[in-house]
Amino acid sequence: AQTVTQSQPEMSVQEAETVTLSCTYDTSESDYYLFWYKQPPSRQMILVIRQEAYKQQNATENRFSVNFQKAAKSFSLKISDSQLGDAAMYFCAYRSRFRYGGSQGNLIFGKGTKLSVKP
C-alpha cells in the first residue's frame, strides 16, 4: 500500500524568504500523480500544485515550485517570497494514475505541515 510522509509537523518562515516543505512517499507503482494542497485556517483546502510522475520537469505555479526526485520518492514544495497569506496547513498527496476499480482516484494524504509566516 502507498504511504505519504511529511516529517515536519510545523515550519516557520520570515516574510519574503524562501521555505521548503518535505514530502516522501512509498509506492511500487511507476506512474502516478503527486499533489500539494493548502488549507488556510478555517478556510477550504485548495490545490497548490500537481506533478505527473512521468514528467521529468518539475511543476511550477508562480511562487510555488516542486523538487520531484522520483528515484528517491521525494516531492518537496518550495515557496519563494513568502507572504502572510501563505500561512496554512500544507498537505502532500499521492494518487495512482492507472488503478481501476474500488481504489481508483483515491488520494492518499500525509499528515500535513503547519506553516507560519512571520512579518
Partner 1 sequence: ETGVTQTPRHLVMGMTNKKSLKCEQHLGHNAMYWYKQSAKKPLELMFVYSLEERVENNSVPSRFSPECPNSSHLFLHLHTLQPEDSALYLCASSHVRRDTQYFGPGTRLTVL
Residues that bind partner 1 (CB under 8 A): 4, 35, 37, 43-47, 50, 91, 97, 102-112
Residue number, 18 or 104, with CB nearest to partner 1: 104
Please, what is the minimum distance in Å from the beta carbon of residue 32 to partner 1?
A: 11
Q: What is the rounded distance in angstroms from the CA atom of residue 92 to the CA atom of residue 105? A: 15
Residue number, 55 or 111, with CB nearest to partner 1: 111
What residue type is 50 in one-letter code?
R
Alpha-carbon distances of 3 from 57, 59, 93, 94, rounded to whole Å? 23, 21, 9, 8
Count of Cβ atoms closer than 10 Å to residue 85 Cβ: 9
Specify the residue for cell string 498527496.
93
Please, what is the minimum distance in Å from the beta carbon of residue 20 to partner 1?
A: 21
Residue number, 15 or 29, with CB nearest to partner 1: 29
Please, what is the minimum distance in Å from the beta carbon of residue 41 to partner 1?
A: 12
DSSP 29: -
Residue number, 66 or 108, with CB nearest to partner 1: 108
Please, what is the minimum distance in Å from the beta carbon of residue 8 to partner 1?
A: 14
Cell of 7: 516529517
